[in-house]
């Protein structure tokens, strides 16, 4: 149908010009986007330019909070912890998610949808609940793992010691988000045309070679997106250390991660202005790291 | 916020229809502004965490049918205060009245959030209260909070473990250390106590209080800060020695591990406040009835100085539209002898009223949790020995957070706890200056 033919259609509904229509469709999204993202951002930025003291009240301080945040060792310590966390957790999570997605996609698995759903279910469990479950499991004296170990004559593993705490938190994140990433990969794999498989079989490729040489390279863009999501998520870590703090008080302090630090500053230290600056700085760090990763990944792909 | 749904007051055996309507016309306090008449009902929103506060609220509503009390439990301690601060910050959502611990009063006063209940007649009940408890929430004739319960310290210990190991409650801290060393040697895996000072700043405060450290002295906009005093270092060196010798354990307080440790007999003593059994009996089913109370150990034999930990008050907020009724409620909760008696015998809340602390009948009350020991006598004696000069900072929560961060790190093996105090002192002084106080 030509455009003219379209125009010739009788219209008995409200007539909206073509330039306005898209905005109307976008309106619900834009409204929510503005209310829950743009406005809070402006608000946070605004308060980050002031300082409220118990004595002396509120005064405008310009970039002071940012200067202070930029040179605050407590902030950078937190960023350091999260870099360690991200390097530890993301490759393991992405790796296992890929393996499971490839296995599910390969068609050799019995009860495929059952496994697909079971791997995904932890993602539906709120992080708070997940952390509570795991902190019970980690309990050195009365957790089931510790008790089993002792009844078998071994020493109970100390999951919350200085050496293991980060790995223990990473394990919670792994449990929560592996299934989520796996579903994304699985969907990407399903979109690969089956004629590629037929062609590779004709060419004599094994299932393994087909998976690693053809399927994996084809979903690289998806992998990059999930890694970026994971980087963003990792650098915002809060719930898990917040809830597990009591089990490892000597390691998890109130500025263990930047978000935890911002929380402490706001709700314990009565410094919401400074906390807003910390949050923006963290946003900056996340943007730089994500962008750097994408740049790096794209360069690899171009080669 | 899920609590809101379940927050409606529990009805207690008697229906509100049975109330004597006539009682409504009698104002409880002389000198109160004319109260709302019985026809127009005022609703007060109250945030309190003590279990079954609704029972006492029912008693209040029976007496004042024109005031309806709605209790909401926001969780005890930090969540409660975080939500209050959040509401103050937001400028809306504050309750009319909230439960407030003694150590939190200065910080909420600093936020200008607490209403002065003096003009509504709060001072009329002043003389009923044990002096230091009243002083903690008032400033001359201005009354910012009305005491409800106190937390005199004692030694809460397992009779069975003490008997089996030939221990008696330590009279001095030296004796306590000896017993700790002995028990750790005789019975590996059992500890005389678990040191929670690095995770529970409130508890540590009670210990600083007893030994004579005075970290803060506030005078208007001037504040004196001495967190790293010699007395404070003495206290932490004492515990450091026991920690290093593995004579006490260091599981963070208020965790499942810790509660289970006490219930299972891993820890034989908790130096704690009169109200502690409220939380103990919720999670300690096996050891119920095996506990006893004795005076807390003293630093100098024969010189009895104790301290207070926790205990709470009721404060009204400046945002409340019904300050007269709010005051009436706070006054009732704190000073009604029948309500206080019920709370003590059922919920271990220790009275702040002179009349009740001297009441032979109440003091002789036997508690099943303590194997029918009349423990009130122990805590009443402790209450009379509390040195009332201890002060809290207007930013106590923040100081506590810095303190526990530093002490926990030291317990984890980085230096000693006494040395960590120097860093805490610097950080808190910087913070106080940043908040506009003049540090003297």
Tell which of B114, B216, B252, B393 to mutate to test the A interface (max A CBs under 10 Å): B252
The domain limits of chain B are 2-150+310-357, 153-307+371-439
Per-residue pLDDT band at A11 (split at 50, 70, 90): low
CB-CB neighbors (< 8 A) of A255 in chain B: 405
Spell out which residues of chain B touch residue A136, defining contact as CB-CB under 8 Å. Answer: 256
pLDDT band at A182 (very low <50, low <70, confident <90, very high): very high
Residues A293-302 have a mean pLDDT of 82
Question: What percent of chain A has a predicted confidence (pLDDT) above 90?
Answer: 62
Structure tokens at B385: 């020995």
Residue A90 pLDDT grade (very low, low, confident, very high; cuts 50, 70, 90): very high
Average pLDDT, chain B: 87
B115, containing H or E segment:
none
Distance, in angstroms, between A140 CA and closest chain B CA?
A: 8
pLDDT band at residue B388 under the 50/70/90 scheme: confident
CA angle A80, A81, A85 (to 5 degrees): 115
Identical fold at B2-150+310-357 and B153-307+371-439?
yes
The answer for residues whose C-beta is within 8 angstroms of residue B352's C-beta and 6 or more apart is B129, B130, B133, B147, B148, B149, B150, B311, B334, B340
- pLDDT of B437 > 50? The answer is yes
Give the pLDDT band of residue A141 (cuts 50, 70, 90). Answer: confident
CATH number of B153-307+371-439: 3.40.190.10
Q: How confident is the model at residue B29 (pLDDT cuts 50, 70, 90)?
A: very low
- Phi first, then psi: what are they for A116, rounded to 5°? -60, -45
**pLDDT in the model for residue B19:** 37
Does residue A73 sit at the B interface (CB-CB below 8 Å)? no
Closest in A246, A250, A267 to B86, CB measured: A267
Contact between B260 and A162 using a beta-carbon 8 Å cutoff: no
Query: For all residues of chain A together, what is the average pLDDT?
Result: 89
Give the C-alpha separation, A60 to A69, whole Å. 16
Tell me which residues of chain B have a C-beta less than 8 Å from any C-beta of chain A. 82, 85-86, 89, 110-111, 198-199, 221, 251-252, 254-257, 260-261, 266, 394-395, 397-398, 401, 404-405, 408-409, 411-413, 431, 434-437
**DSSP letters spanning A6-55:** HHHS---S----TTTHHHHHHHHHHHHHIIIIIHHHHHHHHHTTEEEETT
What's the whole-number mean pLDDT along residues A46-73?
A: 92
pLDDT at A303: 56
Query: Does residue B342 register a pLDDT over 90?
Result: no
- Residues of chain A contacting B408 with CB distance shorter than 8 Å: 249-250, 253
Is residue B11 pLDDT above 50, yes or no?
no
Instruction: Give yes or no for residue B21 having a pLDDT over 60.
Output: no
- Mention the CATH class of domain A60-302: mainly alpha
**Does the pLDDT value for residue B17 go beyond 80?**
no
Residues from chain A contacting residue B260 (CB–CB below 8 Å): 141-142
Q: What is the mean pLDDT of residues A277-291?
A: 96
At residue A290 the predicted structure's pLDDT band, cuts being 50, 70 and 90, is very high
pLDDT interval class at B346 (50, 70, 90): confident
Residue A257, helix vs strand vs coil: coil
* For residues A31-37, average pLDDT: 95
Mean pLDDT over residues B283-296, rounded?
93
- Residue A6 has what pLDDT? 52
Three-state SS at A178: helix
Q: Of how many residues is chain A composed?
A: 303
More confident residue, B132 or B425: B425
> What average pLDDT does this structure show over B118-143?
91
Nearest to A53 among B199, B251, B436 (CB): B436
Q: Searching chain A, which residue's CA lies closest to the CA of residue B87? A: A267
Q: Are A279 and A285 in contact (CB under 8 A)?
A: no
Instruction: Please answer whether residues A206 and A125 qualify as being in contact, where contact means their C-beta atoms are separated by less than 8 angstroms.
Output: no
- Provide, rounded to the nearest whole percent, the portion of chain B with pLDDT above 90: 63
- A98 and B CB contact within 8 Å: no
**Going by CATH, does the domain composed of B2-150+310-357 fall within 3.40.140.10?**
no
Report pLDDT for B425.
97
Q: What is the pLDDT of residues B305-329, one digit of tens each?
A: 999 998 899 999 999 999 999 999 9
Encode pLDDT of A186-201 as tens digits.
Answer: 999 999 998 888 898 8
pLDDT in tens, B236-278: 999 999 999 999 999 888 888 899 999 999 999 999 999 898 8
Considering only the beta carbons, identify the residue of B82, B412, B436 that sits closest to A267.
B82
Q: Residue B82: its pLDDT value, please?
A: 84
Q: What is the pLDDT of residues B150-195, one digit of tens each?
A: 999 999 999 999 999 999 999 999 999 999 999 999 999 999 999 9
CB atoms within 10 A of CB B27: 14
Task: Tell me the C-alpha distance between A177 and B254, whole Å.
Answer: 30
Whole-angstrom Cα distance, residue B113 to residue B27? 27
**Residues in contact with B185: Cβ distance below 8 Å, sequence separation at least 6, in sequence order:** none
| Predicted pLDDT at A249 | 85
More confident residue, B353 or B77: B353
Q: How many CA atoms does the CB half-sphere of A296 hold within 13 Å?
A: 9
Predicted local distance difference test score (pLDDT) of residue B89: 81
Q: What is the 3-state secondary structure (H, E, C) of B336-356?
A: CHHHHHHHHHHHCCECCEHHH
CB atoms within 10 A of CB B251: 24
Query: Is A233 an interface residue toward B (CB < 8 Å)?
Result: no
pLDDT tens-digit map of A239-267: 999 999 888 888 899 999 999 999 999 98
Contact A250 B86 (CB under 8 A): no
Per-residue pLDDT for A88 more than 60? Answer: yes
Note whether A268 contacts B: Cβ–Cβ < 8 A.
yes
Residue A175: Cβ-neighbour burial (10 angstroms; 0-12, 13-18, 19+): middle
Is B208 in contact with B270 (CB distance < 8 Å)?
Answer: no
Contact A267 B110 (CB under 8 A): no
> Which whole-number Å values give the CA distances from A178 to A99, A101, A230, B213, B219, in the listed order?
11, 10, 10, 51, 56
Q: What pLDDT does B6 receive?
A: 36
Give per-residue pLDDT as tens, A91-133.
999 999 999 999 998 877 788 889 889 999 999 999 999 999 9
Q: Which residue in A141, A268, A272 is closest to B401 by CB distance?
A: A268
In chain A, CATH 1.10.3720.10 sits at 60-302
Q: Can you spell out the DSSP letters for B184-252?
A: HHHSTT-EEEB--TTT-HHHHHHHHHHHT---EEEETTEEEE-TT-HHHHHHHHHHHHHHHTTSSB-PP
């Amino acid at each position: 149908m030509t455009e003219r033919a379209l125009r010739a259609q009788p219209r008995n509904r409200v007539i909206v010009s073509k330039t306005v229509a898209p905005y109307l469709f976008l309106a619900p999204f834009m409204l929510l986007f503005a209310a829950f993202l743009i406005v809070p951002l402006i608000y946070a930025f605004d308060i980050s330019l002031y300082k409220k003291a118990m004595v002396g009240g509120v005064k405008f301080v310009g970039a002071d909070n940012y200067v202070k945040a930029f040179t605050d060792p407590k902030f950078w310590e937190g960023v350091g912890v999260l870099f360690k966390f991200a390097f530890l957790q993301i490759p393991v999570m992405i790796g296992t998610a890929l393996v499971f997605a490839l296995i599910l996609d390969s068609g050799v698995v019995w009860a495929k949808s059952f496994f697909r759903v079971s791997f995904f279910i932890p993602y539906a469990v709120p992080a708070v609940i997940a952390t509570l479950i795991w902190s019970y499991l980690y309990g050195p004296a009365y957790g089931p793992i510790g008790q089993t170990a002792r009844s078998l004559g071994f020493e109970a593993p100390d999951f919350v010691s200085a050496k293991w705490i980060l790995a223990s938190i990473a394990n919670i994140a792994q449990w929560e988000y592996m299934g989520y990433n796996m579903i994304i990969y699985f969907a990407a794999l399903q979109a690969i045309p089956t004629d590629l498989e037929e062609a590779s079989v004709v060419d004599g490729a094994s299932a393994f070679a087909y998976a690693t040489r053809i399927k994996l390279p084809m979903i690289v863009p998806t992998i990059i997106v999930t890694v970026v999501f994971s980087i963003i998520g990792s650098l915002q870590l809060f719930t898990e250390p917040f809830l597990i703090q009591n089990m490892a008080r000597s390691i998890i302090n109130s500025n263990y991660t930047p978000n935890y630090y911002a929380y402490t500053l706001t709700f314990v230290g009565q410094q919401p202005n400074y906390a807003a600056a910390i949050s923006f700085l963290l946003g900056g760090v996340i943007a730089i790291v994500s962008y750097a990763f994408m740049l790096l990944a794209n360069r690899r792909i171009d080669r | 916020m899920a609590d809101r749904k379940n927050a409606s007051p529990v009805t207690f055996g008697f229906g509100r229809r049975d109330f004597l309507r006539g009682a409504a016309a009698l104002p409880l306090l002389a000198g109160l502004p004319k109260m709302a008449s019985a026809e127009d009902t005022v609703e007060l929103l109250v945030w309190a965490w003590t279990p079954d506060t609704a029972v006492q609220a029912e008693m209040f509503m029976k007496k004042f049918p024109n005031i309806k009390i709605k209790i909401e439990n926001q969780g005890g301690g930090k969540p409660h205060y975080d939500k209050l601060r959040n509401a103050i910050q937001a400028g809306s959502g504050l309750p009319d009245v909230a439960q407030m611990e003694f150590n939190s009063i200065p910080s909420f006063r600093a936020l200008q959030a607490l209403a002065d209940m003096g003009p509504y007649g709060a001072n009329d009940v002043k003389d009923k209260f044990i002096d230091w408890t009243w002083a903690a929430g008032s400033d001359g004739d201005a009354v910012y909070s009305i005491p409800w319960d106190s937390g005199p310290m004692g030694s809460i210990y397992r009779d069975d473990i003490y008997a089996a190991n030939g221990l008696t409650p330590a009279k001095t801290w030296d004796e306590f250390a000896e017993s700790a060393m002995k028990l750790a040697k005789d019975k590996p895996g059992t500890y005389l106590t678990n040191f929670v000072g690095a995770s529970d700043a409130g508890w540590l405060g009670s210990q600083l209080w007893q030994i004579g450290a005075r970290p803060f002295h506030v005078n208007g906009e001037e504040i004196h800060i001495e967190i790293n005093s010699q007395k404070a270092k003495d206290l932490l060196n004492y515990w450091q020695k026991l920690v290093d010798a593995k004579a006490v354990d260091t599981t963070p307080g208020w965790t499942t591990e810790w509660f289970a440790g006490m219930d299972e007999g891993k820890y034989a003593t908790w130096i704690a406040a009169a109200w502690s059994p409220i939380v103990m009996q919720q999670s300690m089913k096996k050891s119920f009835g095996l506990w006893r109370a004795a005076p807390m150990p003293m630093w100098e034999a024969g010189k009895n100085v104790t301290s207070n930990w926790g205990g709470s008050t009721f404060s009204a907020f400046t945002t409340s539209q019904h300050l007269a009724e709010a005051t009436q409620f706070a006054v009732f909760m704190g000073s009604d002898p029948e309500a206080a008696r019920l709370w003590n015998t059922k919920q271990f809340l220790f009275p702040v009223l002179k009349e009740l602390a001297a009441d032979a009948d109440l003091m002789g009350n036997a508690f099943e949790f303590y194997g029918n020991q009349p423990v009130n006598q122990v805590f009443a004696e402790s209450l009379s020995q509390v040195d009332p000069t201890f002060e809290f900072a207007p930013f106590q929560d923040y100081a506590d957070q810095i303190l526990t961060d530093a002490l926990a790190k030291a317990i984890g093996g980085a230096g000693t706890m006494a040395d960590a105090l120097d860093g805490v002192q610097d950080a808190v002084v910087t913070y106080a200056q940043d908040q506009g106080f003049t540090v003297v």
